Amino acid sequence: MTQTEEKLLRRAIELAAEARTGGNPPFGSLLAAPDGTILAEERNSSLTDRDITAHPELKLARWAARELEPEVAATTTMYTSCQPCGMCAGAIARSGLGRVVYALSGDQLNGLKPPGTGFTDAPSEGPALYDEARVPVEGYYT
Ligand SMILES: [Zn+2]
């Protein structure tokens, strides 16, 4: 990792501390151009916004998909204080960002939490009703 990348990652950690100071979970992220210019910064605001999706990585992915041309988004790097969760990883993939650099891994984060504080997946069932469900989808992805 270059000194510029370390500086950007340290800024993401600062944003995480700012999120905590502001009454939110301690996570922060930024999006940088290839030369290290910061394009956008975000902090977790899930508690103050009462929005379970207000993770900084998701906010930046949405911003990039809305504000950047796909070829520009593909050149950017997200620096984030913690490895993106499954929700954010999906949004990052859909936004076409070029790369993610994180500080804490998801496993390291879980090691810092008390036992039993994680999320559990809701039970799900399926597939079902294939012949009906495929009708609105067929021909869409051509
Ligand atoms: Zn997330």
Nearest alpha carbon to residue 32 among 93, 80, 81: 80
- Which one is catalytic: 14, 42, 57, 71? 57
In angstroms, the CA 92 to CA 98 distance is 9
The rounded Å distance from CA 57 to ligand 1 centre is 6
pLDDT for the residue 53: 98
The rounded Å distance from CA 125 to ligand 1 centre is 24
Whether the per-residue pLDDT at 125 is higher than 90: the answer is yes
The rounded Å distance from CA 27 to ligand 1 centre is 9
The stretch 48-72 carries a mean pLDDT of 98
Active site residue 18: no
The rounded Å distance from CA 84 to ligand 1 centre is 5
What type of residue is 74?
A: A
Q: What is the pLDDT of residues 16-44, one digit of tens each?
A: 999 999 999 999 999 999 999 999 999 99
Domain locations along the chain: 3-116
Question: pTM score, two decimals?
Answer: 0.93
**Cβ(95)–Cβ(61) under 8 Å?**
yes
Q: Report residue 116's pLDDT band, with 50, 70 and 90 as the boundaries.
A: confident
The rounded Å distance from CA 105 to ligand 1 centre is 12
Report residue 52 as tokens.
């379970």
Question: In CATH, what number does 3-116 get?
Answer: 3.40.140.10
